[in-house]
């Protein structure tokens, strides 16, 4: 049997590339902030609220899953709300053993109480910096970058891409599109991606989660994405014969050949119905075929999860050991929107020594 335990996995250095700021609030903070701004919530205790988010997100549909964000976005409309949520996010990730994270959110959803796009980003970055300082003050270590998301049903993607580039030297590492996938193909936002590419800037695209291969194809072939948010439906382009031999179609081959990172989010995929059960998740097939797989939380509040928990669920389903978890972590670090020398430094100085201790223990 596998010997890895959650407390051990929590101490392992972890890298998180796909985590939504508005999907990771502490339930108690949602209550506090709702109280302060007069927003009515579906539950009035932290436990009740945690259960409500988890159960409502457990809907089997991405669209219904996304409806729960109404209550987190509503309490993130002020400078104080944004800074607090961002600071606590960094503290929670550090407590979970995350050493590098890219946390995303959609600035255009935080303008309801008069903040400008620039102010929204400034407050979130301020929260990240104060979270990093708080962690450092207690002897911990974490670095958090920010990805700016544009909502795919809206029409502000070019503006958000420009915002991301404007803040590139102040903590914004890249750009993303999210929201309901069916009906809103990535090519709808081609000008934003072209703008990013022209600026030598990075982006990822939510694709191949609620919608299949055409969405991944557009993200890769037309938009030139650096990474795929989820990308889990790439499995539809892979045929596995009875003897276990896998045959890859053109798109799957391309994604693997180009080492396009897959930001896989196991629990979230089960909740939205992208996969039936965790044991059925193509994570292991993709890992065995040597796709560049990474482990991610997506929305810690809605999935009631952590990086440790996502890794433990994979360990339990597929029998992974430290060497596997180290590989997934290095995959993620290699795929980060951070200059190459800094990625290498984190791999050599933090990740490898961390796993060496665990492997040797
Ligand atoms: O898994 C997902 N797929 C698509 N969109 C998502 C997912 N998780 C969150 N969001 C959307 O991204 C916005 C900015 O963070 C959230 O408000 C939510 O609407
Ligand atoms: Zn996501």
Q: What is the pLDDT of residue 357?
A: 96
| Mean pLDDT for back-to-back runs of 10 residues, the chain (361 residues) | 85 98 98 97 97 92 92 98 98 98 98 98 98 98 98 97 98 97 93 98 95 96 98 98 96 98 97 93 98 98 98 98 98 98 98 96 76
Q: Whole-prediction pTM value?
A: 0.98
Determine whether the shortest distance from the Cβ of 167 to ligand 1 is under 6 A.
no
Active site residue 126: no
From the list 108, 209, 218, 326, the catalytic residue is: 209
Sole residue written with tokens 């994979």: 314
Sole residue written with tokens 């890769």: 220
pLDDT tens by residue, 136-161:
999 999 999 999 999 999 999 999 99
Asked if 281 and 234 touch (Cβ cutoff 8 Å), the reply is: no
Domain boundaries, the chain: 6-360
Phi, psi of 209 (to 5 degrees): -110, -70
Burial class (CB in 10 A: 0-12, 13-18, 19+), 214: middle
- CATH of 6-360 among 3.30.70.240, 3.20.20.140, 3.40.190.10, 3.50.50.60: 3.20.20.140
Which atom from ligand 1 is nearest to the alpha carbon of 230?
A: 1
Instruction: Classify 351 as helix, strand or coil.
Output: helix
Q: DSSP alpha helices (H): ranges in 258-304? A: 266-271, 283-288
355: β partners: none
Q: What is the pLDDT of residue 181?
A: 86
Q: Which of 205, 185, 178, 182 is nearest to 193 (CA)?
A: 205
Sole residue written with tokens 């020398």: 341
110 is in an annotated binding site: no
Determine whether the shortest distance from the Cβ of 20 to ligand 1 is under 6 A.
yes
Determine whether the shortest distance from the Cβ of 66 to ligand 1 is under 6 A.
yes
Q: Which of 16, 44, 14, 15 is nearest to 28 (CA)?
A: 44
298 is in an annotated binding site: yes
98: β partners: 14
Structure tokens at 153: 């049903």
Q: Which of 43, 60, 44, 61 is nearest to 52 (CA)?
A: 43
22 is in an annotated binding site: yes
């Amino acid at each position: 049997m596998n010997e890895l335990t959650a407390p051990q996995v929590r101490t392992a250095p972890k890298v998180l590339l796909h985590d939504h700021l508005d999907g990771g609030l502490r339930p108690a903070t949602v209550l506090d902030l709702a109280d302060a701004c007069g927003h009515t919530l579906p539950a009035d205790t932290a436990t009740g609220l945690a259960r409500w988010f988890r159960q409502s997100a457990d809907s089997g549909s991405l669209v219904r899953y996304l409806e729960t964000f109404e209550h987190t976005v509503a309490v993130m409309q002020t400078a104080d709300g944004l800074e607090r949520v961002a600071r606590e996010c960094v503290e929670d990730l550090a407590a979970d053993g995350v050493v590098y994270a890219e946390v995303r959110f959609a600035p255009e959803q935080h303008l309801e109480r008069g903040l400008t796009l620039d102010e929204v980003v400034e407050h979130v970055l301020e929260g990240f910096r104060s979270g990093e300082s708080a962690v450092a003050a207690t002897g911990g270590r974490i670095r958090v970058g920010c990805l700016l998301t544009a909502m795919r049903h809206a029409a502000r993607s070019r503006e958000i891409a420009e915002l991301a580039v404007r803040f590139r030297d102040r903590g914004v590492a890249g750009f993303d599109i999210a929201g309901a996938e069916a009906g809103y193909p990535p090519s709808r936002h081609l000008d934003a991606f072209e703008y990013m590419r022209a600026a030598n800037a990075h982006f990822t695209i939510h694709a191949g989660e609620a919608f299949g291969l055409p969405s991944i194809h557009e993200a890769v072939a037309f938009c030139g994405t650096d990474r795929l948010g989820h990308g889990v439906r790439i499995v539809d382009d892979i045929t596995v014969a009875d003897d276990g031999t896998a045959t890859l179609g053109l798109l799957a081959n391309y994604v693997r050949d180009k080492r396009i990172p897959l930001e896989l989010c196991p629990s979230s995929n089960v909740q939205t119905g992208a996969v039936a059960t965790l044991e059925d998740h193509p994570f292991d097939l993709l890992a065995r075929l040597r796709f560049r797989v990474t482990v991610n939380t997506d929305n810690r509040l809605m999935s009631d999860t952590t990086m440790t928990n996502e890794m433990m669920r994979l360990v339990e389903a597929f029998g992974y050991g430290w060497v596997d978890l180290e590989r997934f972590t290095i995959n993620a670090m290699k795929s980060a929107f951070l200059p190459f020398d800094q990625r290498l430094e984190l791999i050599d100085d933090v990740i490898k020594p961390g796993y060496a201790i665990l492997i040797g223990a």
